[in-house]
Amino acid sequence: MIRAEPESIGNTTHMDRTADADRQQADARAALVLLSIIIIFITMYPFGFVRTWDVYFKDLRNAVRDPFDLLLALHLIPSVLAIWLARVAFPRRRWLTLGLAIAGLLVVLELVQAGVAYRHARVGDLLVQWVGLWLGMLTFPIAKAVMRPIWRFRRTIIALGLLGWTLGAAAISIEGQLGYQLKDWDESFPFLIGDEYHGHRQWSGVVHHVGAYATSLDDIQTQILFNTPMNSIEGIALRRSLGPGLLYDFTKGYDPLGTIDLPLEHKHAVRTEAGLDLTQGGRAKSAHRPDELTRAVMASGGITIEVQCTPATSTITGPARVVSNSKGLDMRNITLGQQGTDAIVRVRTPRSGPNATKFETTWPDVFHANQRVHIILTSVGGQIWFWVDGQLRGFRAHFSHPGDWLKLRTDFGDPIAGLVFFGPIALLATRLFRRPIPGVLVSIALAVGVYAAAATTAHLMHRRPPVALLWIAIGGIAVGLGVGLWIGRYGRRAADSSPTTP
């Protein structure tokens, strides 16, 4: 009687061991890919590549002259992890072959780093990385014995990694838009009408009325302001009802009329019945710091500037400041200026910088010589609405750019950010479920969740949804799925091609 059962059990045990080894290798390859993504991103950020060979070779020369770094020892860690994972991921490769391959890739990484702005290649970094590879080879048997019990729980580790990476992508996507809030304003900057301190960028013309209100306005409120003159009792009462704010009617004098009592000092300015004449390059400056207005703006998250003026020329450059809350030429909270016939607006946010130049908006055909103009602009940081003589001239938004939503700015654009923040989600999902369809469905669901978190935040802040973020999420998930599925298929091919035990 032939006993086939024990042979069947033995074959099943062998097949199970082979399948488990196959999964271990695929998981190690996935971890190696994630480690590579992290190392490349940290090394290359902000991905601003130089455009001249002279700059490139100069950095290479400095790599030899300045070979050491204070954080030199940290380069050991990724090298040790890389060789450990490579040994598990490719068990049929000789350890020397793997070590040489990784060492060669590290050389390429340093050479490319020499061409990245704000980064520097160093020979010392490379030497420490090679030492890390050597240590990793020596300690691999010990690491293998220590990690064997932990390795059994790798699916739990992958699940936690997937959850953590998804939450991180959502947090960064939300933080990108929060960077365009009106915050971090400097309370010591004076409120200025006309030229700033040293005679630079002089604005020339007559300013009739000025208002600055710590709130943002909608279309209806703005039209009411246009239809209610500032120099009337009703107009003053209306503007005071907007909350904390400044108000000046220079046709009557310098006295502050708003809810905030902020007297003005003037220099080389002549007040006439028409208003404040600044044709001699003069200015009016707050007698003390407008901290009450600044705090009110940051508390409300919005600001509105209203100006009625008559420019003396339409060829002025600079831009010349009409109204600003600033200090000098390179520090400001907000500025409305004139550049030829164009209006220039700068609003300070954490994302636009201390000088607000990273979010500068231009509104064409606003100022014309000897023509009176009534301007109202309202901003909530990442958005600006601009009206001229009762007509909405347009809306500008800067936060909806993919790089801003991800809080990243790269010369290569946003596909890099998409790969870094969304690709690993799909890669981890495919390794967690080990089957294509569940991995695909979970990856898409998590990417949609990240987008939904950012879109909900936009809705609560009364802003446009980040459509561009959705596209880079789709692209990142697609690449991550491709890599994850290829890793699994590669593992099966390797297992199928390996010699079987009789």
CB atoms within 10 A of CB 439: 23
pLDDT of residue 164: 93
Q: What pLDDT score was predicted for residue 317?
A: 79
Query: In this structure, are strands 320-327 and 303-311 parallel, antiparallel, or unpaired?
Result: unpaired
Q: DSSP letters of 333-370?
A: EEEEEEETTEEEEEE--TTT-TT-GGGEEEE-S---TT
Task: Fold for 196-396, please state it.
Answer: Jelly Rolls (2.60.120)
Residue 236: count other Cβ atoms within 10 Å of its Cβ: 18
User: What is the model's pLDDT at position 74?
Assistant: 78
Which residues are 212's β-sheet partners? 246, 305
CA distances from 337 to 276, 293, 319 (A): 17, 20, 5
50 Cβ contact partners less than 8 Å away, ≥ 6 residues apart? 56, 59, 115, 116, 117
For 356: left if phi > 0, alpha if psi spans -120 to 50, otherwise beta; the answer is left
Helix and strand element counts for the chain (H, E): 13, 15
β-bridge mates for residue 304, sequence order: 213, 378
- What pLDDT score does 6 carry? 43
In sequence order, which residues have a C-beta less than 8 Å from that of residue 136 and are 6 or more positions away? 79, 80, 81, 82, 83, 84
Give this prediction's pTM: 0.66
Angle at 255 between CA 252 and CA 261, to 5 degrees: 150
Partner residues linked to 383 by β-bridges:
397
Measured between alpha carbons, how far is 156 from 172 in angstroms, rounded to an integer? 24
pLDDT at 161: 93
Domain ranges of the chain: 46-152, 153-179+399-502, 196-396
**Separation between Cα atoms, residue 480 and residue 420, nearest integer Å:** 10
Please give the chain's pLDDT, 502 residues, in tens.
Answer: 444 444 444 455 656 677 778 888 889 999 999 999 988 888 887 676 776 777 788 878 877 776 665 566 778 899 999 999 999 999 888 989 999 999 999 999 988 888 887 677 888 888 889 999 999 999 999 998 888 888 889 899 999 999 999 998 888 888 777 778 888 899 999 999 987 666 567 889 999 999 999 999 999 999 999 999 988 999 999 999 999 999 999 999 999 999 999 999 988 888 889 999 998 878 899 999 999 999 999 999 899 999 999 999 998 877 899 999 988 777 899 999 999 999 999 999 888 888 888 778 999 999 999 999 999 999 988 889 999 999 999 888 776 666 666 665 544 445 677 778 889 999 999 999 888 889 899 999 999 998 888 888 877 776 667 777 788 888 889 999 999 888 877 655 554 555 443 3
Model pLDDT, residue 62: 79
Determine the pLDDT at residue 496. Answer: 54
Tokens for 28, please give them: 């190690």
Which DSSP string do the residues of 21-32 spell out, in sequence order?
HHHHHHHHHHHH
